[in-house]
Structure 1
Amino acid sequence: MHDPRPERYLRTAVILGALAVLLVPAARGNSDWFGFLPLWLLGMPLAAWWSVAGFPLPRAATALPRRRRAQARRVTFRMR
């Protein structure tokens, strides 16, 4: 059984980061130390949450059938 605390903390960080980006205009800008603030307030917690969840892919992406394509053939040239 896995520990649910990291997922809860990351979910909270994503919610707080989204609220900060939406409600605080300064959180939408750049910082000299951190760079683009929405990346750190929203993007990085979302990526961490996705990694804690085990990198699940959407069902539509995993259910698509692969098309069978003809394999390329090597052509040999003869010198005359």
Structure 2
Amino acid sequence: MNRSDPPAADPVDPRIKDVLRYAIAIGATLLLLVPAARGSSETFGWLPLWLLAMPLSAWWALHRFRLPAATAERRAPAARRLRSGPQARRRARPSPRPALPKAA
């Protein structure tokens, strides 16, 4: 079974999906409409993290971290580019300049 193949039956409870979608919709609405929701709180920290990023990451984890189709196609095994020449070498250090006599 390939990672990009869709599973035969979705083992995720649809109620959990609904709750996460609802939380994402509420968080996005709050971030768009309430300026204070874009700030930080001493108790919770950065609010956009808790209102939008955490529900989105939970939803992504619920779907077992599947990549979107466009990204999966882009990440197809590509031929690795190898250099044809030998590995670069350091240049030899130039000889130090002779010391000049100091003026009195």
Q: TM-score when scaled to structure 1? A: 0.77
Aligned counterpart, 1:20 = 30
Please state how far the C-alpha of 1:58 moved relative to its aligned partner. Answer: 1.8
Give the number of aligned pairs: 73
Unaligned runs of 5+ in 2: 1-10, 83-104
Q: Residues 61, 41 of structure 1: CA spacing in aligned structure 2 closer, same or farther, 3 A cutoff?
A: same
The alignment's C-alpha RMSD in Å is: 2.0
1:6 is matched with 16
- Do the aligned residues in 1 keep the contact of 2:12 with 2:62 (CA within 8 Å)? no
Query: Relative to 1, partners in 2 of residues 1:2 and 1:60: Cα closer, same or farther, differing over 3 Å?
Result: closer
* Partner residue, 2:41: 31
TM-score by length of 2: 0.61
Q: Runs of at least 4 residues of structure 1 off by over 3 A? A: none
In structure 2, how many angstroms separate the alpha carbons of the residues matched to 1:24 and 1:60? 33
Q: Taking every aligned residue pair, what percent have the same amino acid on both sides? A: 53
Which has the higher Rg, Structure 1 or Structure 2?
A: 2
5+ residue gaps, structure 1: 71-80
Q: Which amino acid aligns with 1:7?
A: K
Give the number of the structure whose residues are more often helix, by fraction.
Answer: 1
Partner of 1:68: 80
